[in-house]
Structure 1
Amino acid sequence: MPKEPFSTQDTASAGRTVARGMHYLAWIVLLAMLTVYFNDFVGEQRNPNQHLNYVEAGSGEVVLARNRAGHYVAPGWINGQPVTFLLDTGATRVSVPETLAARLGLRRGAEHKTMTANGVISVYATELDRVQLGGIELRAVPASINPFMPDETVLLGMSFMQHLELVQRDGELTLSIPR
């Protein structure tokens, strides 16, 4: 016997297919929303100072919150380009990863040896025209291009911070230009 064009069996099968598709779509949307939420959550845990991107230079002071690992991480600018800083009072100079230095157009200067936690390495001298962290901007900051740094986080060393007053209290670090 020939099959009718729209049997109840075909309608039920189509309904199950649509329901299954909607179920998968709901899971995909839920997973996408959770991914966005947790990416923001993890980013905020690593860098609780993300709001500094919106502070203009000139105020001469910045207050940073310590992240969960106990570090001070903050967005900033080198020669007008956005970067992420990790404050490092143990670093003599600002240390820029080589891949980031190339993108910023920094020139390699003289090679010199420096001591790191992993031993002695060769780095290259350079000078940063402008370095901005929140409301603080300094010019002609000595720096090093480091070919061994694995990511694009800049170590903000003492060649920048030596010009500032630093006060640490209750999980916050206040940096200011001395008056």
Structure 2
Amino acid sequence: MSSSDSSARIGKWFAGLAWIFLLVVLYLWFGDLLQKQENPNQSVASYQQDGRAVVELKQNRSGHYVANGAINGQQVTFMLDTGATQVAIPQTLAAELGLARGNPVIVRTANGTARAYTTTINELRLGDIRLHDIAGTIVPGYQSEQILLGMSALKTLEFTQQNRVLTIYQ
């Protein structure tokens, strides 16, 4: 084997590795870009105005308001849903958050009726907004990484929508 054959083989390996590296970088970059389009509120814009907490959320590309927040001090992702009676939490996520399952209840979902369990959220946080003792439901069949932020939390807040931005006041 001549040295030019070995150099050519090494060159092909480096070219292959360079392509793999480039594809990994593009995958990570586009994955991050898609994540930001799904949740443009990963860092929630929040401030105080006239003694009230104000949060501004941008609409995602699907027209929903998705935002990072916290339940009992643990980071979660919310999707605001004014059509949901209560805060709806997937069972797997509720277990990670340490939420206790209470009484069984029947809930209506987009897919029909389902069995769920009552729970109480000690503290729910969205930017500077903090809510305490919020009623929620743990939904075993709900397969999502997002928590539906329903009216049991939203009813105590004021909000306005303008130019794809939802402004929430507490």
Amino acid at match of 2:23: L
Alignment partner of 1:28 out of 2, 17, 20: 20
Task: Give 1:17 deviation, angstroms.
Answer: 0.7
TM-score, normalised to structure 1, is 0.90
User: Which 4+ stretches in 1 moved above 3 angstroms?
Assistant: 54-59
Judge conservation of contact 1:59–1:135 (CA < 8 Å) in 2.
no
Distance in 1 of aligned mates of 2:62 and 2:13? 43
Distance in 2 of aligned mates of 1:56 and 1:170? 19
Matched, 1:136 2:129: yes
Judge conservation of contact 1:96–1:143 (CA < 8 Å) in 2.
yes
Consecutive unaligned residues of structure 2, counting only runs of 5 or more, are none
Matched, 1:12 2:36: no
Question: In proportion to residue count, which structure has more strand?
Answer: 2
Show CA shifts across 1:99-154 (max 9, x none).
01011111111111111111111110000000001110100000000001112210
Distance in 1 of aligned mates of 2:60 and 2:26? 22
Alignment partner of 1:95 out of 78, 88, 94: 88
Matched, 1:49 2:41: yes
Q: Which has the larger radius of gyration?
A: 1
Aligned length: 168
Consecutive unaligned residues of structure 1, counting only runs of 5 or more, are 1-8
Amino acid at match of 2:161: Q
Task: Give 1:59 deviation, angstroms.
Answer: 6.0
Distance in 1 of aligned mates of 2:67 and 2:37? 12
Distance in 2 of aligned mates of 1:105 and 1:51? 24
- Percent identity over the alignment is 43
CA RMSD of aligned residues (A): 1.7
TM-score, normalised to structure 2, is 0.94
Judge conservation of contact 2:47–2:53 (CA < 8 Å) in 1.
no
Judge conservation of contact 1:166–1:174 (CA < 8 Å) in 2.
yes
Distance in 1 of aligned mates of 2:61 and 2:47? 26
